[in-house]
A and B are shown apart, each in its own frame.
Chain A
Amino acid sequence: MIELIVFATLTLLGYVFGRIAERKHFASIRSRESTLKDILIFNERTLPPGEWRRTQLVGGNVVISVDYFKRLAAGLRALFGGRVTAYESLLERGRREALLRMKEEAQRLGAAMVINVRLETASISKGAGDQIGSIEVYAYGTALGR
């Protein structure tokens, strides 16, 4: 019985705080994306036409924890199959946040564009049994400055 109460509490906490965190995060992502929209990013490897004087590696990295509710929802989904929407939004946040941090770095260097952008995703504490995992997303690319 105690286990059941703990379990229900964790799920409720996960849902409430996870939902608040996700909403806030998306709002912050949207506003920062619009502020940084002048720094263009592409995954092309070749230099676009123009006079480029500086190139430099820039990167942004983010780690986000899975909350208890998401983990449970994904676990349920694993029984039936289909889109794991709980993790889809988590990874979307990770990718966009990592790209934003990379852009912030590029902006700090006065770059106008980042090319050859790559994304790496890793799951932290993968295979560590019952642990609530975290995801890491790393975005990196070549910043170009005039």
Chain B
Amino acid sequence: MSYENPAQREDINVSAEHPLKEFVSLLLALVLIAVTAITVLTLSAQWLAQFVPFSMETRLVDTIGSPFEYDGEWSEEDEARQTYLRELAERLSPHLELPDDMVLTLHYDPGSTVNAYASLGGHLVLYGGLLDKVTSENALAMVVAHEIAHIKLRHPIVASSRGLTVALAVTALLGFTDNSLATQLVNQISLASSLSYSRAQERAADDWAAKAVLAEYGHLDGADQLFEALRSDSAFAEALNQFQGTHPAIDERIETVRARARSLGVQGTVTPLPWTHAAPPDD
């Protein structure tokens, strides 16, 4: 019997494969699974959100407080504007066929921001900056009806569900109890203007808005004035470019309203705003 220790082959116990190759492929697989899971979860959450009773949505907002109330200086003119806007919303809502349990609360914010948004719990916010750009009630009605349509179509809760699901899933996946993420989570339900809607949602809201404006005034003349004004406003156009992904391009929106007006073939007089009493420019 001979006794010897021949040299062993190196590749038996140790894999020759580069460790990074294995790592990257496993990581990619994991990311793929996670993305798929989050997508499925998000889509389900978005779909389920429409079944959340509106009263529950209102209760949720009430527990957070009222972030929509403007708490700065408030003049008589602001009060008049808010009253006027609320009356306008009241006149438009019946045309939008809101469910019985849906209660709208419109807030006027004298801030110079050129914006308006619809949020959870039936809250609408219109900024002074936007009102300054509007020259007729018809154009303003288009905006107000658009925001009411968002609420009617439950877009705020759908958007919040999407944001919340993504935030929750990412938190759960990464196992973070990070403060910044927690803050983001809270921000998702803090309802501010950050709720972003998809292009399809914006189009649906535009559709309903046009229907409501037509039902109220009998024509669509002047309804596109705000879009026109915004298009020529360079600062706003710049800001809008960032939203291009979700907001249908402004040209497209103008064209849609005009095409609708053309197909109706109805002309009408434009209602002036109570605080301008000036005839809107013709275009």
Contacts and interface: CB of A to CB of B under 8 A. Distances in A.
A48 B3 CA distance: 8
A19 B14 CA distance: 14
A33 B20 CA distance: 28
Nearest to A86: B19
A19 B23 CA distance: 14
A77 B26 contact: yes
A88 interface: yes
Interface in A82-103: 83, 85-86, 88-89, 91-92
Interface string A10-46: 0000010001000000000000011001001110000
A1 B180 contact: yes
Interface string B106-132: 000000000000000000000000000
A108 to B, nearest CB: 19
Nearest to A34: B7
Interface string A57-101: 000000000000100110011011001011011011000000000
Interface in B10-34: 13-15, 17, 19-20, 22-23, 26-27, 29-30
Contacts of B4: 40
A15 B27 CA distance: 15
A2 interface: yes
A76 B7 contact: no
B26 A80 contact: yes
A137 interface: no
A144 to B, nearest CB: 11
Interface residues of B, number: 21
Contact of A3 (B3, B15, B178): B178
A113 interface: yes
B3 A40 contact: yes
A135 to B, nearest CB: 14
Contacts of A76: 23, 26-27, 30
Main secondary structure on chain A at its contact with chain B?
Answer: helix
A80 to B, nearest CB: 6
B176 interface: yes
Contacts of A42: 3
A136 to B, nearest CB: 18
Contact of A88 (B3, B13, B27): B13
A37 B7 contact: yes
A15 B14 CA distance: 17
Nearest to A103: B5
Given A3-B178, A15-B20, A73-B23, A89 B14 contact: yes
8 contacts: A1-B180, A42-B3, A73-B26, A76-B30, A80-B26, A85-B17, A86-B19, A92-B14
Interface of A: 1-4, 15, 19, 33-34, 37, 40-42, 48-49, 69, 72-73, 76-77, 79-80, 83, 85-86, 88-89, 91-92, 113
10 shortest A-B CB distances, which residue pairs? A85-B15, A76-B26, A92-B13, A89-B14, A73-B23, A40-B5, A92-B14, A48-B3, A3-B178, A40-B3
Interface of B: 1, 3-5, 7, 13-15, 17, 19-20, 22-23, 26-27, 29-30, 174, 176, 178, 180
